[in-house]
Structure 1
Amino acid sequence: MASRVPQAGGILLVDKPGGVTSHDVVARSRRAFGTRRIGHAGTLDPMATGLLVLGIEGSTRLLTYLVGLDKTYTATIRLGQSTTTDDAEGDVTASVSSETLAAVADADIARGVAALTGPISQVPSAVSAIKVDGRRAYDRVRAGEEVELAAREVTISRFEIDAVRRSEGAIDLDVAVDCSSGTYIRALARDLGVALGVGGHLTALRRTHVGPFDVADAAAVDDRLADAPLLPPADVAARVLGRFDATVDEARDLRHGKRLAGAAARVPGALAAAIDPDGALIGIVEKRGSALKSAMNMPEPQGGAA
């Protein structure tokens, strides 16, 4: 398979459709761009739609620095039913009566949402992709095993209700969520339902942002995917980490693994994207005392180091 992209590659923003896995999208992208060297910065469930961030060729090295970015979602939570998967793909395990649902006031829902906003401890769904002793939790559940996952600390910066729609046997909430990486929105739906005493699960989910990247800029997964623009690795790394503008000599030293003595003062954060005078991404640098050293280097431009 002959790659159609430069050695350094780039970052591809894709708008994943529903009903396919994230790995299906990666496979489609590999065929479109003629390379197997494509990775992702976090998957979406098959039911979900929205932004996937893919790294192509040398830019797969950047994914480590993108996977932990905050996320934004829009979702629909259905109160009144619990499911085996905490979303609409699972079997219904419990339902409440219309009378019970009618007793849940909008103010009760608002209090429940407020309690799930900020730093919280969240137990992921048992059918998540988290590995337990080397195997995915969902594989263990499908094999009939009982799976109990440990709670994890996550931060819900925003949990807003955009609409409340009441019908016979259900209350549907259209919500928007800003959260830290590792948050499970279907676990929010489950926990809100539990807190209100009526059960809950997710019926729709769309990821609209990953860090500074917007699904509005993403390519559709269709026959034109091969023509989708790639974000230059230097631009992506600088947006996420800030930039360090290296001189020709500094670029050469970083590519050769040398530290830059006294250069840490030129980097505000712990990490930065090191950019050479031609605008190419040298790699990611980190502080070591007053010096800077390479934490990751990109493939050198054709023709060798600067």
Structure 2
Amino acid sequence: MNARGPQRRQSPPPPPGLLVVDKPAGWTSHDVVGKVRRLVGTRKVGHAGTLDPMATGVLVLGVERATKLLGHLALDTKTYLATIRLGAATTTDDAEGEVVSTADAGGVDEAAVDAGVAALTGDIEQVPSSVSAIKVDGRRAYERARAGEEVALAARPVHVGRFDVLVRRPGDAVLDLDVLVDCSSGTYVRALARDLGAGLGVGGHLTALRRTRVGPFTLEHARDVDTLVAEADGEAGRASLSLDLDAATATAFPRRDVDAAGADDLAHGRPLPPTGTPGTAAVFGPDGHVVGLVADTEGRARPVLVLAPAG
């Protein structure tokens, strides 16, 4: 024993990989990251694809070396289940904002809703919500909006591949629509609710939002926070990953297997023969472990990200 008393034995860091969390309502994405850091035993945790506090569902987190993977994952399409309330517009385009206008939506018929939805499907120009996380002169739009500033954001192109009305529920001067939305990254479902209501002349906002898919990762991969806490309190002493680094890359990218020489070349940052296909591919060595990501450039498969240390 030294002068400082007994030294606490530190646990080894967790293996690298992805943890897919079913985010609870009321939590920010950063809240989830902070909780997961304690549950898996490392500060090296990051997330991809922010969810608003009111939203629930799929939030993809990277642990240890897999944090480097987050910016390269194929997360360009997402799926949501949402509820749109027609008959009222709010300051935030969702139920957390103040109501700024109301109109009787009882007379909005099915054909009008279908036409409004069709106009918001496909390639569209969308003005993001004023309380989005987009930066305006170095500050988040939501910070400026909540400080009382007038926020004007430019429209930008997004793609809504699917916008289906699943259930229509008439209420007292309102009409609630349960919808399914498949869309490109950067699409705001709150803005779809706002624009649908505006187009119908009655106003609209979002009352519920659940993300069911981000790229290839779905609710089937996800676990809720209570389950993760129970795992951390169990014999293992930490929550387990949803996918280790090998499984995560194989799920998100086309796979390419190379021999030991090819694996060594990529581990040292050297290019490989071309894959012959567009986009990014995951390269696996003869031991079955991922070495890195490559993409064809100038006739060679050049490293996009090296995940395995040289040697």
TM-score (ref. length: structure 1): 0.92
Using the alignment, how far apart are the partners of 1:203 and 1:125 within structure 2?
15
Residues 1:224 and 2:251 aligned together: no
Residue 150 of structure 1 deviates from its aligned partner by 1.1
What is the CA deviation profile of residues 135-193 of structure 1, one whole-angstrom value per residue up to 9, with x for unaligned ones?
11111112221111111111000000000000112100000000000110000000000
Q: Provide the aligned length of Structure 1 versus Structure 2.
A: 294
* Percent sequence identity over aligned pairs: 53
The structure 2 residue matched to 1:36, chosen from 17, 38, 43, is: 43
Aligned to 1:283: 292
Using the alignment, how far apart are the partners of 1:89 and 1:211 within structure 2?
28
- Aligned partner letter, 1:26: V
Residue 112 of structure 1 deviates from its aligned partner by 0.3
After TM superposition, the structure 1 = structure 2 runs for residues 238-277 of structure 1, keeping only pairs within 5 Å, are 238-260=250-272, 263-264=273-274, 266-277=275-286
Q: Please state whether the residue corresponding to 1:216 is helix, strand or coil.
A: coil
- Aligned partner letter, 2:207: T
Distance 1:31 1:267, change over 3 A: farther
Residue 74 of structure 1 deviates from its aligned partner by 0.2
Indicate if the aligned counterparts of 1:88 and 1:201 stay in contact, CA closer than 8 A: yes
Aligned to 1:61: 68
Aligned to 1:158: 162
Indicate if the aligned counterparts of 1:41 and 1:67 stay in contact, CA closer than 8 A: no
The structure 2 residue matched to 1:172, chosen from 167, 170, 176, is: 176
What is the CA deviation profile of residues 198-232 of structure 1, one whole-angstrom value per residue up to 9, with x for unaligned ones?
00000000000111111122111122253333312
Using the alignment, how far apart are the partners of 1:255 and 1:66 within structure 2?
20
Using the alignment, how far apart are the partners of 1:14 and 1:206 within structure 2?
12
Aligned to 2:6: none
Indicate if the aligned counterparts of 1:212 and 1:240 stay in contact, CA closer than 8 A: yes
Using the alignment, how far apart are the partners of 2:123 and 2:153 within structure 1?
19
Aligned to 2:235: none
Indicate if the aligned counterparts of 1:74 and 1:205 stay in contact, CA closer than 8 A: yes
Using the alignment, how far apart are the partners of 2:11 and 2:43 within structure 1?
9
Residues 1:208 and 2:208 aligned together: no
What is the CA deviation profile of residues 95-141 of structure 1, one whole-angstrom value per residue up to 9, with x for unaligned ones?
113xxx22211110011001100011000000111111111111111
Q: Please state whether the residue corresponding to 1:209 is helix, strand or coil.
A: strand
The structure 1 residue matched to 2:99, chosen from 86, 92, 95, is: 92
Distance 1:67 1:239, change over 3 A: closer
Indicate if the aligned counterparts of 1:13 and 1:52 stay in contact, CA closer than 8 A: yes
Distance 1:40 1:153, change over 3 A: same
Using the alignment, how far apart are the partners of 1:196 and 1:188 within structure 2?
12
What is the CA deviation profile of residues 264-286 of structure 1, one whole-angstrom value per residue up to 9, with x for unaligned ones?
1x342232111111111111111
Indicate if the aligned counterparts of 1:81 and 1:199 stay in contact, CA closer than 8 A: yes
The structure 1 residue matched to 2:190, chosen from 170, 186, 190, is: 186
- Unaligned ranges ≥5, structure 1: none
Using the alignment, how far apart are the partners of 2:74 and 2:119 within structure 1?
27
RMSD: 1.5
Residues 1:235 and 2:244 aligned together: no
Indicate if the aligned counterparts of 1:77 and 1:203 stay in contact, CA closer than 8 A: yes
